[in-house]
Chain A
C-alpha cells in the first residue's frame, strides 16, 4: 500500500512542485494550506509522514508539531519541518518539540526524498520510532 504524506505549506508554488515530486515517487499525497487544516487532515487520514512548513498564518508549524505530539495515537507519524529561516536556534526548537527532521529551504529534491525514505523505512522496522 502506498505511504501517505501530508504537505502543509501556505506557499502554493512549492506545494505544487512537492506534490508532483512525491506522486511521481509513488506516495499518496494530501495537502493543507494552514495549521488548523493540517490537524483536521491528520485526524481524518492518519498520514505516515507530514512535511510541515514553519512559517504559516493561523498556527505555526511548531504549534502543529507540538499538538500532534500531544496525541499518543499520533506518535508514530513522522514529521519533517521545512523552514526558510533555518537558524540553528529554530532547528533546535523544532527538534525539541518532536520533529524527526528539519530541512531548510532551498533544498534539493533528491535530498528531501532520501530523508523521507529513511524516516519511513525506520518506521517500518518493528519497535522503530
Chain B
C-alpha cells in the first residue's frame, strides 16, 4: 500500500479516535448533570467554541506530527530495511544497509549488516574453494590433453553410447578423410560428440565389448581386447580397446588406442613372400644340380656327350640360383632390415644429443662440426647415443684422448657419422675387440655390444686415420632415413583450453527425446557459410566454397572445421570475384559439388545447422538435392532472424553489424570458413540473450524465427 495513503488512514483513525473519546467523555459528564448546570456547560462550550476548534486543530497537527515521526523512523525505515536486505541477498552481496530511523531499527540494521558480512565471507570462501578445485581440475585436464597429444598412438575415449569424449591429433590423422577413399572403408570423422561407430564397425565393437564384459564377469581386473580395422585412407589400424568402469562396476565407456600397422603388415607380408619365394625357388635348381653332380660322380665311365650335358645342367642351374638369390635380396632389402624401433631423425639433432652426452657424462670436451640440415637417418637414437658415448669413453680411458669432434656427411644411400680425435692411433683389431664387448660408459653397463647396435641399424663401423694431420676417426655408416614433416604447432590461443576433449559429454545421454524440446545450450551445431558465383541459385549460380565449424557443449571447436573450394563448372561473375577474391584458376583443380556435398553431409551429421541468412545457403543446397541425392533434413537456425528476435528495434542485422553489437572480432571475412567462425561466435552470444526472452529450447527458437520471418515478409 502506498505510504501516503497509509499515513492518511492512520492519521484519520487516531485523530477520529481522540475526538470521539473527548466527545464521549463530554457526553458522559453532561449526562449526569442537573438541568441548570447542563445549560451553563452548553453556554461555556458555546462561548469557547473558537478556542475548542483551535485546540482540535492543534490536536490534529499534533497527531500528524507524532504519526509522521513514527512513520519516518519505523514504518518507512523498516520497509527500506527489507528492500536493502533483499538487494544484499539477491543482487549485490557487497551492499550494506544504511542505518537510519529509530534506535531499535538502527540496531536491527547493524545486526543485518553483520549477518551480511558473515554471509559474504562464507560465500567468498566457497567461491575460492570451488575456483581452486576447478582450476586444479582444469590443469589436470590440460595436462592430460598435452600428454595425449604427445603420444605416438592415436587415442579415443568414448562413453558407453560410443560418443567421443576425447581424441588426439594422431587419432584424427589416422581416420583422416582420404582424397580417394579405399573401397568399402568407413568415412566417419573424428570429433567431439561424434559417434565412434562412424569410424569402426558397430558389430566389431559390440563383439569386443562382449568379450570385455565376459572378462570382467570372470574377475579379470584390467581386461583389454584387440582387433584390426581399415581406415578410409586405406591404412590398417590396430585397435586396442579397454573399458573404464562406473562406480557401480558397469562399463561406462572405453579407451581405444590406435596404431597404424600398415607398414608393419606390409613388411611382414614382404618377409613372408621372400621366404616363400626362397623355399619354392631354391628347391628345383638345387635338385637338378644335385642329380647331375651325383651322376657325374657315380658314373666316371659316361660318354663325353653325357658329361657335357650334365656339366651344362650344373652350370645353368647354378647361374639361375645365383640370379634368384641376388634378385630376391635386392628386392626385399627393406624387408630384411631390422627396422623396428628405428625412427627417422635429423643427423644434426642426433649428434647434438651425442655431444651433450659425451660432455656431461664423460666430462670430455666435444666439438660439433656444422651438419647439413637435410641429412636424416634411421636410428634407434638411445642405443646409438650410448654406442658413440661408449667409444668416446674408451678413447678417453685407454688412449688418453683429451677431446673429440663430431661430423656428418651424406654418401650415397648412407650417412657417414665420424667421431674424430687427434693423437693416438687405434688399431683396427682393437676396434674389432670393442665391437664384441658389452658397451660401458663410466659405471653404466649395458648388455648390448656395439655390434648388436650396428646390426640392428644395418650399419658398419671402421677406424680411419690421416697421418699428416695426426687425426683419426671412427666412421659409422648408417642408412639414410626419410625426412619427417614436423607436426605443426597449432596456433592456439593461450588462454583457451585445448578442444580435444569434453568430459562434460559424459553426463550427456542420447535419450533422444524430441529434438525441439532440447535446450539450445545443449545441442551440437554445424555453423556454415558458402561463397557462390552469384546471388541467384535458380539462375544457375553455384557454390564455389564451403566452410563450417562445429559447436559442441557451447564451445566453438576451432580444430574441427570443414573448408573446401568447389569447382563450379561455370564462369565466375566479376562482381563476386571482387567480394571473395576467388578466381576461376584457383578452382579448376578442385572437386565438384557432387563430390563435396557427401563429405559436408557427413561433417554435419547429427547436428543442427546454423548460418547467417540461412535461407540463401540452404537454397543452394536444396537445388543440388536432385543431382546428389543428399538431403540436409536437420533443423536450421538463422542468426539473422535470431538477431531480429533479440534486437527488434535495431535496423542493421548484417554479419558485421551484428558482430560489432555483440563484441565479436571479425577476422578473415569473405572466406567461407572465416564467416562461419564469426557466425558461430555470434550464435553463441545470442543463446543467453534469447534465454532472457524466455527462448530456451530449439523448438522455441524455431518458432520465434518463423514469426519474425513472417513479420519481416509482411513488412
By a beta-carbon cutoff of 8 Å, the part of chain A in contact with chain B is: 59-60, 62-63, 66-67, 86-90, 92-93, 96-97, 104, 106-108
Contact = CB atoms under 8 A, between A and B. Distances in A.
A89 B428 contact: no
Nearest to A105: B322
B325 A106 contact: yes
B226 interface: no
Given A63-B428, A106-B318, A89 B460 contact: yes
Given A93-B462, A96-B475, A106-B325, A88 B412 contact: yes
Nearest to B463: A66
Interface string B410-421: 011110000000
A63 B458 CA distance: 20
A92 B477 contact: yes
Interface residues of B, number: 23
B6 interface: no
B459 interface: yes
A88 B475 contact: no
> Which 9 pairs across A and B sit closest by C-beta, in order of nearness?
A106-B322, A93-B460, A89-B460, A66-B428, A63-B428, A89-B477, A93-B462, A92-B477, A97-B462
A89 B458 contact: yes
Contacts of B322: 106-108
B296 to A, nearest CB: 15
Interface in B472-491: 475, 477, 479
Given A62-B462, A86-B329, A92-B477, 13 more contacts: A59-B429, A66-B428, A87-B458, A89-B459, A89-B460, A92-B460, A93-B462, A93-B477, A96-B462, A96-B464, A104-B326, A106-B321, A108-B319
Interface string B423-441: 0000011001000000000
A33 B459 CA distance: 27
A63 B414 contact: no
Nearest to A63: B428
Contacts of B459: 89
Nearest to B459: A89
B414 A88 contact: yes
Interface of B: 318-319, 321-322, 325-326, 329, 411-414, 428-429, 432, 458-460, 462-464, 475, 477, 479
Contacts of B412: 88, 92
B460 A90 contact: yes
Nearest to A86: B329
B414 A89 contact: yes
A89 B524 CA distance: 58
Contacts of A67: 428
A69 to B, nearest CB: 10
Contacts of B462: 62, 66, 93, 96-97
Contacts of A93: 460, 462, 477
A61 to B, nearest CB: 11
Contacts of B479: 89
B429 A63 contact: yes
A17 to B, nearest CB: 12
